[in-house]
């Protein structure tokens, strides 16, 4: 009887502790932002009239709705937020290419051997339209794509590759070298299988600082497409600035954030998700700080994560408005 009472009364504080930790996981975490307000960093002066036209289209392949308090720690809101699985089709005078690849038509076949936990959490999505279907709808044949540039090598950013066999893949060298030590072969080699036999071409962000970010790569040498490292989510997560004459500047963030509130507050996702998708917690938080600072001083530039359905839809509406105004 005494043992039973001991277990009963001992369980109460343990249960209370568990509830307390669960509640704490939804509370906002403090970021020291006061010292950033006066900092502008390096500013790139661009004459948009001298730049070529660059067409940008988000291709949404799949999605899932989750409560906002999961996407944004400290949000205290059950409003559904749509998390998309997208690719970006970019038509530059020198190349037609993709930034990330969305989902292929038979993605379920690649995921069937993954754990039930994985399939019901990180890989839980509704397939809306495959990458191949999007490209056919736009009249883009396989031979017309020059390359696909991957923001990073998580499975959900390489999952459209089976629909574009033979198209070269461009990957940040830091990312590819790090992935060799685990990511490529994790989950029964899921990422390696999705990348199929497509050739991999590594690039280096070894150029000068750009817009306050530590290094860069001017992809075409004309100032239109500039890559910058946004590490933390993975070792080589790579962002892309797009500068053009036919619309607003744009900053693609890969998976440095899920939704815009992650850099606006700033705030991570709920720690249950954040801890499972983030390679380096401290570095990823610093990247959020850098993006928060940049957004403060450049509210005119859309910063868009590859899972941020709302920001992607807003951008595409603005593109349609711009095109309609030209007619």
The CA distance from 306 to 284, in Å, is 16
Cα angle 80, 86, 92; round to 5: 140
Give the per-residue pLDDT at 20: 46
For the segment 56-85, the average pLDDT, to the nearest whole number, is 96
- Average the pLDDT over 299-303 and give the result: 97
**Per-residue model confidence as pLDDT tens digits over 168-205:** 999 999 999 999 999 899 999 999 999 988 999 999 99
Tell me, what's the pLDDT at 50? 86
Say whether pLDDT at 34 is over 70.
Answer: no
Which of 3-17, 49-63, 212-226, 312-326 has the least mean pLDDT?
Answer: 3-17
Is the pLDDT at 29 greater than 80? The verdict is no
227-249: average pLDDT: 97
- Residue 319 pLDDT level (bands cut at 50, 70, 90): confident
Beta bridge partners of 229: 238
pLDDT at 11 over 60: no
pLDDT, tens digit, 9 for 90 and up, residues 87-111:
999 999 999 999 999 999 999 999 9
How large is the average pLDDT for residues 291-308? 97
Strands (E) across 102-216 are located at 126-127, 147-150, 169-172, 200-203
Which residues neighbour 167 within 8 Å (Cβ) at sequence distance 6 or greater?
A: 98, 142, 145, 146, 147, 148, 161, 198
Determine how β-strand 217-218 pairs with β-strand 225-229.
Answer: antiparallel
Q: Which domains does the chain have, with CATH numbers?
A: 54-326 (3.60.15.10)
Q: Work out the mean pLDDT of the chain and round it to a whole number.
A: 89
**Residue 25 is inside which H or E element, if any?**
none
Confidence at 19, pLDDT banded by 50, 70, 90: very low
């Amino acid at each position: 009887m005494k043992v039973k009472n001991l277990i009963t009364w001992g369980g109460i504080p343990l249960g209370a502790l568990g509830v307390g930790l669960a509640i704490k996981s939804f509370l906002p975490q403090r970021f020291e932002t006061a010292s950033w307000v006066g900092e502008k960093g390096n500013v790139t002066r661009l004459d948009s009239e001298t730049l070529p036209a660059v067409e940008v289209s988000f291709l949404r392949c799949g999605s899932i709705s989750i409560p906002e308090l999961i996407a944004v720690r400290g949000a205290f809101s059950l409003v559904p937020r749509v998390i998309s699985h997208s690719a970006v089709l970019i038509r530059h005078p020198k190349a037609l290419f993709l930034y990330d690849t969305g989902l292929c038509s038979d993605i379920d076949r690649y995921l069937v051997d993954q754990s039930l936990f994985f399939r019901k959490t990180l890989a839980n999505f509704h397939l809306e339209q495959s990458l191949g279907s999007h490209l056919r709808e736009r009249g883009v044949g396989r031979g017309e794509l020059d390359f696909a540039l991957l923001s990073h090598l998580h499975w959900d950013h390489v999952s459209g590759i089976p629909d574009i066999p033979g198209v070269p893949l461009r990957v940040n060298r830091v990312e590819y070298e790090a992935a060799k030590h685990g990511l490529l072969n994790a989950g029964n080699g899921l990422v390696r299988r999705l990348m199929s036999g497509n050739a991999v071409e590594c690039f280096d962000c070894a150029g000068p600082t750009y817009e306050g970010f530590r290094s860069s790569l001017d992809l075409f040498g004309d100032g239109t497409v500039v890559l910058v490292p946004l590490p933390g989510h993975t070792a080589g997560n790579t962002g892309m600035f797009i500068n053009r004459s036919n619309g607003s500047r744009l900053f693609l963030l890969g998976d440095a954030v899920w939704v815009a509130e992650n850099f606006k507050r700033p705030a991570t996702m709920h720690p249950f998700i954040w801890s499972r998708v983030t390679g380096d917690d401290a570095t990823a938080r610093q990247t959020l700080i850098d993006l928060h600072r940049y957004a403060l001083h450049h509210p005119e530039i859309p910063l868009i994560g590859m899972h941020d359905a709302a920001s992607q839809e807003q951008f595409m509406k603005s593109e349609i408005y711009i095109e309609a105004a030209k007619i």
